[in-house]
């Protein structure tokens, strides 16, 4: 590429001509920008090498097309906004603030469309994008090959992606088109072809919704960046020579280590870039790269901001003018991209591809509801609702715009950005260690899930006890048939990436370095929580799909009231139900019938018109209607699965994060306190909120009955979980003798209630008599602050000369923070082989004191030989 000082003479003449013409300045800039892009795409050194007039005409045509798209988008955004304003005022007149929240993250209120939120659409779009591609790989027999490919094979797949992506569209669309590829291995070609076709499908889906993304090879996978590796570039590259650059001090007011890592990253990436495409019309390359680096480190590139996220939407602008613009890196070829991705990407080719599908799915989900400029549209909705209330009701202060920001930040992804890299990284690692040290018995505590499962199915009109049997049966069954599993996958149930959902049950979630993510994945595999969660989620979705199929012969008004209420919450009415029951049913290999979403792709144009209510929708609108409808039905089942197997949804995450950014003081404080709180908070907000919705709907008796039955069942299952924990510790179950020992009975009841109500992680702490009241209160701040308090106490005891107490507390704290040691089966073996002996060594007589206290406080004894007799 010529340097910025070596201007193309022809380009200069054209620039001067446009400046002296009657063409408006904005048009002038756009024409020059488009011509620069054309020059880069044709890989020309000079503008003299092409017909300038022809390119200028094409540029004007492209500008006209973009303006038409912008105009169409503006109209559609306005229509969506007005419909949502009317929706809030119609469905939530008594609480419009709740209606505005419902648009983004859903509401438990029994209102039409109350759960048909942006967050649900995003969840469904992402899961279906990933599962859809996985099923495509399985259908073609290359799934295992793709997921286990080594670096050499991945690099060759990337080459196929590039060669397919650079083929002229006209050639590919010919009936007997023959694409010449350098790769001859059929499996590699097949994987590359499937990735290319799927990537193109996602690009066109986004364009249908208002983006204007030009064809680019490997579109989905090309922008993959691991912020931890980018921020630590010098160490990743083993670069010991690059140092702090004094010249960048003004442009980069951070510490010297940050500056050094930026310089190492820039030095590595610059030779890999297609500079013409990356820096077209960029006036200051250094500042462009500074902003790009900062954006990647802070995760700003993951924000779901509608059509503006498009990789080529703003890449040609002067980045020094706005730090909010997306910075896009265009690589020379597949080898350059692969080399970069190996160093600084999200992992393997498969992980990078799934990361791209996740980003695309989140944008599809938000654009379906709020259009191409989601934040602008939502803020206009909030303002319009506030104005209408102020005018009609004379209540100008009824809408709190500030309190809505936290919900918007979750669906746009802003909450996943980072402030201080170092603080965010090491805080996340500390929380990961705490998870792997404290959640070893989480699967035992998860027995209470069965009660939650049954409560959700009862809400949908099914039998409570029958649903408990269904959940238990799913855990006892070895596995479902392949066809049933595929039905669940088509609905959107994800199995391979369950680690993040599993961890999210107990905490807000962190963006961790790759090795810690892998460690956590391994931990949840070995403590069986991934297996437990996956089985119950699959059972929940298949159970709901079967229940819907069993009702296919009933009209909407004849459905069970519970199922009809559920449908209304997801905006499924008599029209859409008739389409579903006629179209989307399938029998599995054992004859059981299920709702099968794959058939919803085949609904007719007439049915799509009925769904939308439009008289004459365009072909593009029809495609969007069909795709959005399928996503919304899938979203309903996936969303309800997070009620049956409790997981925090977007609303819970918003309440826990409060718009705070990781790596800031407030953001990290909130995340430490919120660790392990997501599960109990989800039960309060989702499960109890679901039952409370009956009270809001005027069915107080039904709401109270639901809460009572749920609490009773959860307490019983909590006792089962608590008993299982005691047996693993070698202790007999706690007494239920109300007549002879009423005091202990009520202690047992309270402990079971806490265990079953989602506070199982804290049950041992709250009812452990060796801790003071202050320590128990401190435990509610989170496991990491509690451990810090314990180590501070060690120092205090040492300074007071209480060496034995210091050793005892230090040993207990250290043992309780060793990852993997607390897995329930490993912990039981460790205690009897080593742990009890170590306790006695640290404090002679402690085991006898524990046994006496256990008998006095809990009326419990050891089932086998007491530990004190083993270490005499």
**Is 270 in the same domain as 203?**
no
**Is 261 in the same domain as 229?**
yes
Among residues 541, 548, 563, 550, the alpha carbon closest in space to that of 474 is found at: 541
Q: What digits encode the pLDDT tens for the residues 237-261? A: 998 887 776 665 444 545 778 888 8
Of 354, 377, 412, the residue that ends a domain is 412
- Number of domains the chain is built from: 3
Residue 171 has pLDDT above 70, yes or no: no
Structural tokens at position 778: 């401190």
Please state the rounded mean pLDDT for residues 139-161.
94
| pLDDT confidence band for 98 (50 / 70 / 90) | very high
Cβ atoms of 129 and 361 closer than 8 Å: yes
**Is 236 in the same domain as 274?**
yes
Structural tokens at position 578: 């008739």
Structural tokens at position 682: 């989800």
Spatial separation of the C-alpha atoms in residues 668 and 427, rounded to whole Å: 7
| pLDDT confidence band for 59 (50 / 70 / 90) | low
**Is 220 in the same domain as 231?**
no
Of 661, 695, 729, the residue that ends a domain is 695
Cβ atoms of 680 and 572 closer than 8 Å: no
**Is 663 in the same domain as 539?**
yes
In a domain, 834, yes or no: no
pLDDT of residue 768: 47
Structural tokens at position 852: 């006496």
Higher pLDDT, residue 349 or 494:
349
**Which residues partner with 586 through β-bridges?**
594
Spatial separation of the C-alpha atoms in residues 357 and 194, rounded to whole Å: 14
In a domain, 257, yes or no: yes
Among residues 748, 722, 723, the alpha carbon closest in space to that of 736 is found at: 748
**Is 428 in the same domain as 527?**
yes
Spatial separation of the C-alpha atoms in residues 221 and 554, rounded to whole Å: 45
Residue 313 has pLDDT above 90, yes or no: no
Residues 6+ apart with CB under 8 A from 594: 484, 487, 542, 545, 546, 549, 585, 586, 587, 588
Angle between helices 256-269 and 285-297 (to 10 degrees): 110
Spatial separation of the C-alpha atoms in residues 447 and 717, rounded to whole Å: 6
Cβ atoms of 675 and 434 closer than 8 Å: yes
For 590, phi then psi, to 5°, come to: -95, 10
**Is 455 in the same domain as 401?**
no
C-alpha 315: how far from chain center: 26
Of 679, 695, 711, the residue that ends a domain is 695
In a domain, 700, yes or no: no
pLDDT of residue 42: 52
In a domain, 629, yes or no: no
Residue 72 has pLDDT above 70, yes or no: yes
In a domain, 632, yes or no: no
**Is 430 in the same domain as 541?**
yes
| pLDDT confidence band for 766 (50 / 70 / 90) | very low
**Is 358 in the same domain as 304?**
no
Long-range contacts, stretch 569-574, CB < 8 angstroms, 24+ apart? 569/110, 569/111, 569/112, 569/113, 569/114, 569/115, 569/116, 570/113, 570/115, 570/116, 570/120, 570/632, 570/633, 570/635, 570/636, 570/639, 571/112, 571/113, 571/116, 571/632, 572/632, 572/633, 572/636, 573/112
Structural domain range at position 663: 419-549+648-695
**Is 181 in the same domain as 285?**
no
**Is 220 in the same domain as 232?**
no
In a domain, 631, yes or no: no
Between CA 802 and CA 807, with CA 805 as vertex, the angle to 5 degrees is 105
Element (H, E) at 64: helix 52-91
Please state the rounded mean pLDDT for residues 307-313.
46
Spatial separation of the C-alpha atoms in residues 521 and 503, rounded to whole Å: 9
**Is 257 in the same domain as 204?**
no
User: What does the DSSP assignment read for 417-457?
Assistant: -BS-HHHHHHHHHHHHHHHHHH-TTHHHHGGGHHHHHHHHH
pLDDT of residue 776: 57
Q: What digits encode the pLDDT tens for the residues 566-619? A: 999 999 999 999 999 998 888 888 889 999 898 887 899 999 999 998 888 999
Spatial separation of the C-alpha atoms in residues 8 and 5, rounded to whole Å: 9
Structural tokens at position 137: 């790989």
User: What does the DSSP assignment read for 659-689?
Assistant: TPPBTSHHHHHHHHHHTTTHHHHHIIIIIIH
| pLDDT confidence band for 52 (50 / 70 / 90) | low
Cβ atoms of 808 and 846 closer than 8 Å: yes
Number of Cβ atoms within 10 Å of the Cβ of 83: 11
In a domain, 269, yes or no: yes
Residues 6+ apart with CB under 8 A from 497: 130, 354
Spatial separation of the C-alpha atoms in residues 70 and 307, rounded to whole Å: 10
Angle between helices 619-644 and 482-491 (to 10 degrees): 110
pLDDT of residue 35: 58
Euclidean distance between the first and the last CA atom of the chain, given in angstroms as a whole number: 81
In a domain, 380, yes or no: yes
Please state the rounded mean pLDDT for residues 771-798.
76
């Amino acid at each position: 590429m010529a340097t910025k000082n070596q201007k193309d003479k022809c380009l200069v003449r054209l620039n001067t001509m446009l400046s002296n013409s009657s063409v408006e300045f904005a048009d002038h800039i756009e024409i020059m920008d488009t011509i620069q892009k054309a020059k880069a795409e044709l890989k020309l050194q000079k503008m003299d090498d092409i017909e300038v007039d022809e390119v200028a005409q094409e540029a004007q045509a492209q500008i006209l097309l973009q303006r038409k798209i912008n105009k169409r988008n503006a109209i559609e955004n306005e229509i969506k906004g007005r419909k949502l304003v009317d929706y809030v005022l119609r469905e939530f007149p008594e609480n419009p603030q709740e209606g505005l929240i419902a648009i983004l993250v859903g509401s438990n209120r029994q209102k039409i469309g109350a759960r048909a939120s942006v967050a649900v659409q995003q969840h469904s779009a992402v899961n279906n994008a990933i599962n859809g591609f996985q099923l495509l790989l399985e259908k073609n027999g290359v799934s295992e090959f793709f997921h286990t490919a080594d670096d050499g094979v991945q690099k060759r797949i990337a080459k196929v992606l590039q060669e397919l992506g650079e083929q002229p569209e006209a050639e590919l669309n010919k009936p007997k088109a023959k694409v010449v590829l350098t790769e001859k291995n059929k499996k590699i070609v097949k994987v590359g072809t499937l990735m290319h076709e799927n990537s193109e499908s996602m690009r066109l889906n986004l364009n249908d919704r208002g983006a204007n993304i030009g064809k680019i090879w490997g579109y989905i996978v090309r922008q993959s960046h691991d912020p931890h590796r980018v921020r630590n570039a010098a160490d990743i590259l083993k670069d010991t020579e690059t140092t702090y650059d004094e010249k960048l001090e003004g442009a980069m007011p951070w510490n010297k280590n940050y500056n050094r890592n930026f310089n190492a990253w820039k030095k590595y990436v610059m030779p890999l870039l297609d500079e013409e495409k990356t820096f077209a019309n960029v006036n200051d390359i250094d500042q462009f790269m500074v902003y790009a680096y900062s954006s990647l480190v802070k995760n700003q590139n993951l924000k779901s901001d509608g059509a503006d996220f498009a990789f080529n939407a703003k890449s040609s602008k002067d980045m020094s003018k706005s730090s909010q613009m997306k910075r896009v890196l265009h690589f020379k070829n597949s080898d350059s991209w692969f080399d970069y991705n190996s160093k600084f990407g999200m992992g393997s080719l498969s992980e990078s591809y799934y990361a791209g599908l996740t980003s695309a799915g989140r944008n599809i989900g938000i654009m379906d509801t709020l259009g191409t400029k989601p934040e602008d549209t939502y803020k206009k909705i909030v303002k319009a609702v506030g104005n209408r209330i102020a005018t009609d009701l004379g209540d100008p202060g009824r809408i709190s715009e500030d309190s809505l920001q936290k919900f918007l930040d979750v669906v746009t992804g802003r909450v996943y950005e980072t402030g201080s890299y170092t603080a965010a990284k090491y805080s996340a690692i500390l929380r990961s260690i705490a998870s792997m040290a404290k959640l070893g018995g989480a699967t035992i505590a998860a027995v209470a899930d069965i009660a939650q499962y049954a409560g959700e199915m009862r809400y949908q009109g099914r039998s409570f006890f029958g649903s408990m049997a269904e959940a238990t049966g799913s855990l006892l069954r070895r596995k479902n048939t392949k066809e049933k599993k595929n039905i669940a996958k088509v609905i959107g149930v994800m199995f391979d990436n369950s680690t993040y959902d599993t961890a999210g049950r107990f905490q807000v979630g962190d963006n961790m370095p790759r090795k810690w993510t892998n460690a956590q994945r391994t931990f949840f595999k070995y403590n069986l929580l991934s297996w437990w969660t996956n089985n119950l989620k699959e059972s929940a979705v298949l159970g709901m799909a079967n229940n819907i199929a069993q009702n296919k012969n009933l009209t909407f008004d004849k459905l069970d009231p519970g199922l009809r209420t559920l449908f209304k919450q997801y905006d499924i009415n008599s029209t859409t139900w008739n389409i579903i029951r006629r179209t989307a049913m399938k029998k599995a290999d054992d004859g059981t019938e299920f709702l099968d979403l794959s058939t919803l792709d085949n609904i007719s144009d007439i049915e799509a018109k009925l769904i939308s209510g439009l008289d004459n929708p365009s072909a593009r609108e029809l495609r969007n209607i069909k795709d959005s409808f399928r996503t919304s039905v899938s979203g309903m089942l996936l969303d309800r699965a997070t009620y049956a197997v409790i997981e925090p949804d977007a609303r819970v995450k918003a309440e826990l994060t409060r718009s705070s950014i990781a790596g800031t003081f407030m953001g990290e404080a909130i995340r430490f306190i919120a660790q392990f709180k997501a599960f109990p908070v989800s039960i309060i907000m989702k499960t109890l909120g679901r039952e409370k919705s009956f009270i809001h709907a005027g069915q107080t008796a039904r709401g109270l009955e639901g809460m009572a039955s749920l609490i009773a069942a959860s307490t019983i299952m909590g006792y089962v979980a608590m008993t299982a924990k005691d047996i693993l510790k070698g202790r007999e179950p706690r007494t239920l003798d109300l007549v002879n020992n009423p005091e202990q009975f009520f202690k047992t009841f309270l402990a079971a209630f806490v265990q079953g109500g989602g506070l199982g992680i804290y049950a041992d702490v709250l009812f452990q008599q060796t801790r003071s009241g202050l320590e128990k209160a401190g435990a509610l701040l989170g496991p990491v602050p509690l451990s810090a308090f314990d180590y501070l106490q060690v120092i205090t005891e040492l300074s007071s000369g209480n060496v034995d107490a210091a050793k005892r507390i230090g040993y207990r704290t250290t043992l309780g923070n060793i990852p993997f040691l607390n897995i329930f089966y490993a912990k039981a073996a460790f205690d009897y082989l080593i742990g009890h002996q170590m306790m006695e060594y640290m404090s002679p007589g402690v085991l006898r004191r524990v046994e006496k206290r256990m008998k006095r406080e809990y009326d419990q004894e050891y089932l086998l030989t007491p530990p004190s007799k083993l270490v005499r």
